[in-house]
Structures are given as structure tokens and as C-alpha cells.
């Protein structure tokens, strides 16, 4: 059963020119869409659960859905990850719930407080065999409970909020984290930028030098495909001027730099919403959830398969499983309890 931490994935991704898609899950159809796409493309995947998703869906239901996915595809490498955890208490809850990876996000705190909070989370998680992601720098935009800088203000002064390479060195050394979420010009949500985004690749290079071997993570990395925006707007929505991170820049980040994990949430929501709007517009009498959630799930499958090729992770399943077995097939202590 290759449910695992992100370590076997990131070990290979760092030097292997690929990134692992970290997709946020909120219900059965979204989870099925992600898993079926990853199984079809033979790609490892990270299923992310946010604080908001835990509240919305009830963790018992989400965990049961993920367990069913693992049983359905026993040869698919899957990690269960807490997205943007804000307290050690929440980290502990997630460890008890069987998460294999957690994020503690203290980036909105003063630096020393971020270090202290992150070290506490690392000590707790590592004792349970769970890996930890943390964040330095500031992203723009808003997504769920994550409130960054105003998107327009962020875009105008982006250099001021990017992750500092020397501070990163100190942060990694003092906290012992396994992966670092960096601010390199991405932004949360659908309304990310007024103009086309340009990632700070020079900043990633500097961080790779000050933190050699540390897996880097890109948040706010949905590309907000125009076809989804067009569908939403065509069928009664109102999403003017929504822009995301160009896929060619994400591809460059994972293929030429140390970016091992790319977070994707907004694009899942857009794919699902666009298809549901289309069904309702074309057949206003439709009331069977299967008739609109089914097409929505198919849209997610198609979108995720496209993302996996952008990330170069398609076809990497066997290598990840082999490396996981080489490491001793470790599982967190509390998984399945």
C-alpha cells in the first residue's frame, strides 16, 4: 500500500526535473477526479486538506474517501497533506487523523515567532514520522482562510515580499523542516494579477544555493485556464480579468529548479463550477446531482491530466514506489489508528 510521506517523492523530484501536484480536496467527486487522473497518468500525487475542507466535509468523511482511493489504486503513491495549518494543535489533530504530511504556516507572524512555531510543529510531527512544510515570504491574494497581500498591491511591490535566501538558510537550519514554501511571485485565488505573472527564477536559484537539497514548494500556482473562465462567464458567471500563473513558467520551475511540489486548488474549483454552470444552462430542468456532478468530475480528470504533464510527473509512479521500498516503506506511526 504505497500511501506515504512526501519524502520518497521529493527525493526523486529535486534532481529528476519534475514536481508533484498537490491538489486540494473537499468532496468525493473532486477526490475521484484527481485520483483517476493520476492513476491514468501513473503519477504520484498529494491530496491536500485545508482547515476549511475539514470544517466543510468532516474529516471522517474525507479520510474514508481517501482510504477508498488507496484501496482502489493500491499501486498509486499518495500523500495526505495538511494545507496551511496555523496552529500546533491542528497539526496534532491531523497527525492523529492519519495525515502523512503537514504544513505549519507562520509566515504572517514576525520571523522569530515563525521559527518558534515551526520548530514546535516539526518536533511534534517528526516524532510521529510525519514530514513538515513551512513558509517564508508573503503571497498575494485570498483563498479560503489564507489572506495574503492585496493582489494589486502585491503585484506592484512584489520584490519586497519575496522569500529572502539568507533568511531561508537560517530558517531551515533552526527548524529542521522537510520542505519550504517560497514566495517567488505567485498569488492565491483566481484574481491573481492585472498583468501576466513573471516568476522570480533568480530568487529560486539563490534559495537553492543557500538551502541545498531542500524541497521547494509553490503555493498560489493555479494557472486559471481561460477556457474555464470563458465557460463560467458564458453560462451566467461573472469573473472578469481573472489571471493565473502561466503553465510554461510552472513547467520551468519544476524542470530546471528545485520546486518539488506545486499547489493547485483554484483550477479544480473553476473546472467543476464551469461544467456545472454549463449543464444547468443547457438543461434548466435538470435536478439529478449525478447529471451535473458527473460531468464536473470528468472536467477535473481532464484538467488534472493536463497538469501532470506540465509538472513532468506523469509516468513516475514506479520509480517513486521503488524508492519508497528502498527507504523501508515507512508509514507515519498514527496512520490507520
* Residue numbers annotated as active site: 83
Spatial contact of 176 and 131, defined as CB atoms under 8 Å apart: no
* Three-state secondary-structure class, residue 148: coil
d(CA 29, CA 187) in angstroms, rounded, equals 26
Spatial contact of 142 and 219, defined as CB atoms under 8 Å apart: no
H or E segment and range at residue 23: strand 20-24
The Cβ-side half-sphere exposure at 228, using a 13 Å CA radius, reads 24
* Three-state secondary-structure class, residue 104: strand
Place of cell 511540489: 261
d(CA 250, CA 252) in angstroms, rounded, equals 5
H or E segment and range at residue 257: none
Radius of gyration of the chain (CA): 19
Which pairing describes strands 78-85 and 101-104: parallel, antiparallel, or unpaired?
parallel
Amino acid at each position: 500500500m504505497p500511501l506515504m510521506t512526501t519524502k520518497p517523492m521529493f527525493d526523486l523530484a529535486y534532481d529528476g526535473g519534475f514536481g508533484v501536484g498537490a491538489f486540494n480536496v473537499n468532496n468525493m467527486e473532486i477526490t475521484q477526479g484527481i485520483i483517476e487522473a493520476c492513476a491514468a497518468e501513473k503519477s504520484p500525487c498529494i491530496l491536500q486538506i485545508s482547515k476549511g475542507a475539514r470544517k466543510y466535509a468532516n474529516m471522517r468523511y474525507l479520510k474514508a474517501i481517501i482510504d477508498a482511493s488507496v484501496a482502489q489504486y493500491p499501486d498509486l503513491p499518495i500523500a495526505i497533506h495538511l494545507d496551511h495549518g496555523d496552529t500546533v494543535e491542528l497539526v496534532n489533530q491531523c497527525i492523529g487523523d492519519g495525515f502523512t504530511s503537514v504544513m505549519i504556516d507562520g509566515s504572517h507572524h514576525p520571523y522569530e515567532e515563525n521559527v518558534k512555531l515551526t520548530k514546535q510543529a516539526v518536533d511534534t510531527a517528526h516524532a510521529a514520522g510525519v514530514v513538515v512544510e513551512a513558509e517564508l515570504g508573503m503571497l498575494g491574494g485570498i483563498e479560503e482562510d489564507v489572506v495574503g497581500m492585496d493582489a494589486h498591491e502585491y503585484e506592484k511591490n512584489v520584490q519586497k515580499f519575496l522569500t529572502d535566501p539568507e533568511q531561508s538558510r537560517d530558517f531551515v537550519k533552526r527548524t529542521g523542516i522537510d520542505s519550504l514554501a517560497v514566495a517567488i511571485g505567485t498569488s492565491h485565488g483566481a484574481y491573481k494579477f492585472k498583468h501576466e505573472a513573471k516568476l522570480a527564477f533568480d530568487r529560486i536559484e539563490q534559495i537553492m544555493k543557500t538551502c541545498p537539497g531542500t524541497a521547494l514548494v509553490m503555493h498560489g500556482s493555479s494557472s486559471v485556464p481561460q477556457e474555464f473562465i470563458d465557460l463560467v462567464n458564458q453560462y451566467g458567471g461573472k469573473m472578469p480579468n481573472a489571471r493565473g500563473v502561466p503553465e510554461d513558467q510552472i513547467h520551468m520551475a519544476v524542470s530546471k529548479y528545485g520546486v518539488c511540489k506545486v499547489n493547485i486548488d483554484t483550477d479544480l474549483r473553476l473546472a467543476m463550477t464551469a461544467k456545472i454552470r454549463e449543464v444547468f444552462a443547457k438543461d434548466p430542468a435538470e435536478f439529478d446531482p449525478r447529471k451535473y456532478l458527473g460531468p464536473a468530475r470528468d472536467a477535473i480528470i481532464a484538467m488534472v491530466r493536463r497538469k501532470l504533464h506540465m509538472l513532468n510527473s506523469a509516468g513516475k509512479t514506479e520509480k517513486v514506489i521503488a524508492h519508497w521500498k528502498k527507504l523501508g516503506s515507512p508509514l507515519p506511526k498514527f496512520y490507520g489508528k
